[in-house]
Amino acid sequence: MGAFVKLIDAILFLYFLVIAVLTPLIDSQSCLPVDHFPDLLVDLHLWYSREYGDYLVTEKPNFFVGLVWLELLFQWPISIANLYGILAGKSWFRTTCLVYGVSAFTSM
């Protein structure tokens, strides 16, 4: 059972690491001015929206911008806290994972 828990923790660590890196660099371009980002990241964001036809990223409707703000102001800090919780073995890690999961599920 201990090995299974360590595997789950490793998967969660990778997930939260991706969220902690990509949210401020890629997702935040939907609600912040583009001139705050390097050209490489802006080009990547534009390529994604053209390649996959993601109309939410292209048109930026108000509800989508609100969901990105929710992700930036609430989910991103919790993902960083979860990274720390996994590395330090904190007991509150499961609770913050639950809070993150509920927030992500209700924003879908």
The reported pLDDT for the residue numbered 5 is 87
The reported pLDDT for the residue numbered 45 is 93
Mean pLDDT across the stretch 53-58?
A: 90
d(CA 9, CA 21): 18
Question: Quick one: pLDDT band at residue 1, thresholds 50, 70, 90?
Answer: confident
Question: Quick one: pLDDT band at residue 72, thresholds 50, 70, 90?
Answer: very high
Task: Write out the two tokens for 24.
Answer: 């401020």
The reported pLDDT for the residue numbered 2 is 83
Is residue 80's pLDDT more than 80? yes
The reported pLDDT for the residue numbered 107 is 86
d(CA 49, CA 56): 9
Mean pLDDT across the stretch 15-40?
A: 93
Share above pLDDT 90 across residues of the chain, in percent, rounded to a whole number: 84
Average pLDDT, the chain: 92
